[in-house]
Amino acid sequence: MAPRRRRRRPWYRTRAYRLARTALLAIVLVAVVRWWGDGGPTVPAGPDALAAGPGAGARPGPPPRPLPRSRPTSLRIPFLGVDAPVVGIRLDRDRRLETPPVDKPNLVGWFQGGATPGESGLAVAVGHRDTTTGPAVFAALAQVTPGKRIEAGRADGRTAVYTVDRVKVYDKADFPDKEVYGPTRRPELRVITCGGLFSRRTGYTSNVVVFAHLAATR
């Protein structure tokens, strides 16, 4: 009886192939580990990522240069669909911040005694949550989340782009003036409206305050 011929193993089942595959995988793994340790991929940073800090998916870049003084003309919050004209406001006789006219619910007030859009220091913008005619410009302000953009147009044609840091709700009886209105060296913005419970006799019990800082200019 003639001996059976041994079948040749397929090339992908040979010992030489398995050894070569293991060596190649080891080389690729070492290369990936070294590359990731050097910083990994860099994602181009948009306005939202510039100020979100470490872990936001982009390397933080240098802060933008503050802009010179220029009158504000508009305020946009894309996340809320807000695109409103701006009017200058001052402090009243009791040293309280004025608000835009009640008969113009979609108007934003910008404090003239503070910084203009993109300028160093603190800028303050206020608007109504609602009026007797219905919802106003900042009806949904409390829904803004950290990382969202606020864009302030200027009379010189430039735009200051702020990034939201946090949103707070304060009782009007215990409003922290120093925390909200305290001085700052970098360009920052506070956007304020009413919040909490409403009473026809006393109005709203709280204020919604959005804290933001300058992330870009264009």
103-113 pLDDT per residue, tens: 889 999 999 99
Q: What is the pLDDT of residue 24?
A: 55
Closest by CA position to 80, among listed 151, 134, 140: 140
Mean pLDDT for back-to-back runs of 10 residues, the chain (218 residues): 52 56 51 40 33 41 89 96 94 86 91 95 94 90 96 97 96 89 93 87 88 96
Measured in degrees and rounded to the nearest 5, phi and psi for residue 109 equal -95, 135
CA distances from 34 to 27, 30, 38, 57, 156 (A): 11, 6, 6, 19, 48
**Tokens 């190649």, residue located:** 24
Residue 35 DSSP code: H
- Asked if residues 172 and 161 have their Cβ atoms less than 8 Å apart, the reply is no
Q: What is the pLDDT of residue 185?
A: 87
Q: What is the pLDDT of residue 115?
A: 95
CA–CA separation, 139 vs 80, rounded Å?
Answer: 9
Single-letter residue type at 79: F
**Tokens 């019990």, residue located:** 205
Closest by CA position to 50, among listed 68, 39, 64, 65: 64
Domain 72-217's class?
Answer: mainly beta
- Asked if residues 217 and 118 have their Cβ atoms less than 8 Å apart, the reply is yes
Q: What is the pLDDT of residue 204?
A: 82
Q: What is the pLDDT of residue 20?
A: 58
Single-letter residue type at 112: Q
Tokens for 174?
């215990």
Measured in degrees and rounded to the nearest 5, phi and psi for residue 130 equal -160, 170
Q: What is the pLDDT of residue 7?
A: 56
